[in-house]
Amino acid sequence: MLEPLLAAAAYLGQGVNLAYLALGVFVGIAFGSIPGLGGATAIALLLPLTFGMEADQAIILMGGIMGAVSIGGSVSAILLNTPGTAPNAATCIDGYPLTRQGKAGLAIGAAATSSSIGGVLSLAILVLVLPVAKQIVLLFGPPAFFMLAVLGLTSLTVAGRNMLRGLVAACFGLVVGFVGYDDIGGTTRYTGGIDFLWDGVSIVPLLIGLFAIAEMLNLYAAGGPISARDEAGEVRVVGTGEGIRAVFRNPRTLVSGSAIGTLIGMIPGVGGTVASFLSYSFAAQTSRDNENFGSGDIRGVIAPEAANNAKDGGALIPTLAFGIPGSAEMAIFLGVLVLHGIDPGPMLLIEREATIFMLILALLAATLISGSLVLFTARYLAKIAHVDSMLLIPAVITVSLVGAYALHNTLGDVVVAVFFGVLGFVMIRADYPRITLVIAFVLSGLMERNFNLSMTMFEGDWTGFFTNRTSLILFLLTLVALAVPAVQRLRARRNAS
């Protein structure tokens, strides 16, 4: 384990790679600060820029973005009461009251420090878990991998607001994944007679469309400024040192937040918003002298911020070990791997250990650098959140379409990006989750391969999925996941009566 770790550290330390990391951190903080953009949009937008890079350099750039986004989002949550990304919403509860009390520096210092430490702790857990996960991966056969992907998609939809729509979106994502020439059966599928689609739908224009373009259309349809101007934007950010010390005075809140974030991150689709709110409510319920929660308690900033950044380390466990992305960012990250010729399947953990350590180190460095950077630049970052959406929309759309074209120098990819942009926009407005579509699309190949292999193993008898022990356990877990919303509804009804 030490050898690939050292090789990754030496590679990351090279000048040009540090520059990519810095670029990723800068973009991550900026996109995190602007409400409505976030990490997925940032990664999708920068994807085309990585075409000419080595795979590890692209991973460093993306690691820089992923490690910095959540810290950037905390600034606008604390200073403007507008969360930069959805998981930062829990930080508003106590962060903004602290700003109103003239303690913005205290909140920013605590947020940056707890976010950095939360990220570091979760990455440490990831490094400890990976060798175990490697052994587990080797025990899995095709039926278990197929059922694991089903479980991943199901838990994604259960975590969303509308399970049925999530499942429908997942099915659609799988169908999009079928498009193109099928090597096994020697047939072209779902191309509609369009030659361009023989190679299938490329992940880059799909991601650019579903995230970058769809968000811009939504911004346009919503109208008005991204974030209303507020006197908090002009606030003085002093006393960040006191915020840093506050984190170390509350180790219990910090550790529990990091643990909750890592655990929640491991469950595909549950994501940072649940992690940060759960961590906040845990801190509010279990802390002594908790009467100030909600009106400016610094522990109300430490808990969600630690969880928010810690979820990334947790989400990397299913992503790297099983090729099942835990969040939209992770799905796009798998897209980066595909683009650079790396198969994001379960063998990644076994065959490309150095690449994994590269990502872990990039995330670690990005978390620490962005935490320090935010301490000095918070006041200016708050101004970024006021950027005029009418300037942002055409700029992002232009870069998105040029980037989509640059993939294969074909206008077909631009059309695909526009198609998925409009589809993503419709999905936002009609309340269908885009993340399940993307993750199903990414998993489509893995699922079909393992389904076909399993059916061959079982000689066409599908009941084999239930006689294989691992596959049966995963199937039962899928049923449990599907039953969760019904149980919750039943419990709520019982409580109401």
Partner 1 sequence: MNRRWTSRWSGPVSALVLTFVAALTLWTAYGYNRLSGLFPVFIGWVFLALALAEAVRELRRLAGSERAGPVDGAKAAVLREVTGVAWLSGFLLLIWLGGFLLATPLFMFAFLRFAGGRSIAAAAAVALGATAIVYGVFAVLLEYRLYAGLVFGA
Which residues make up the interface to partner 1 (CB under 8 A)?
36, 49, 51-52, 164-165, 167-168, 171-172, 174-175, 178, 182, 184-187, 189-190, 213, 217-218, 220-223, 388, 390-391, 393-395, 397-399, 401-402, 405-406, 409, 411, 414-415, 418, 421-422, 425-426, 428-432, 447-448, 451-452, 455
Q: Of 354 and 415, which has the nearer Cβ to partner 1? A: 415
Q: Of 57 and 114, which has the nearer Cβ to partner 1? A: 57
For the CB of residue 142, give the shortest distance to partner 1 in the complex, in Å. 13
For the CB of residue 227, give the shortest distance to partner 1 in the complex, in Å. 11
> Angle 389-394-396 (CA atoms, 0-180°, nearest 5)?
85
For the CB of residue 32, give the shortest distance to partner 1 in the complex, in Å. 17
Intra-chain end-to-end CA distance of the chain, in Å: 56
For the CB of residue 26, give the shortest distance to partner 1 in the complex, in Å. 15
Place of tokens 């052994």: 135
CA–CA dist 62, 333 (Å, integer): 7
Closest CA to 260 of 273, 275, 280, 277: 275
Place of tokens 């466990």: 317
Per-residue b or e along 32-67, where b marks 16 or more CB atoms closer than 10 Å to that residue's CB: bbbbbbbbbbbbbbbbbbbeebebbbbbbbbbbbbb
Q: Of 199 and 448, which has the nearer Cβ to partner 1? A: 448
For the CB of residue 133, give the shortest distance to partner 1 in the complex, in Å. 27
H or E element at residue 189: strand 187-189
For the CB of residue 391, give the shortest distance to partner 1 in the complex, in Å. 7
In this structure, how many other beta carbons lie within 10 angstroms of the beta carbon of residue 420?
Answer: 27
| Cα 466 → chain centroid | 32
Closest CA to 356 of 309, 310, 313, 311: 313
Q: Of 146 and 357, which has the nearer Cβ to partner 1? A: 146
Q: Of 23 and 127, which has the nearer Cβ to partner 1? A: 23
Place of tokens 């419990």: 491
Q: Of 195 and 388, which has the nearer Cβ to partner 1? A: 388
CA–CA dist 419, 426 (Å, integer): 11
Q: Of 366 and 443, which has the nearer Cβ to partner 1? A: 443
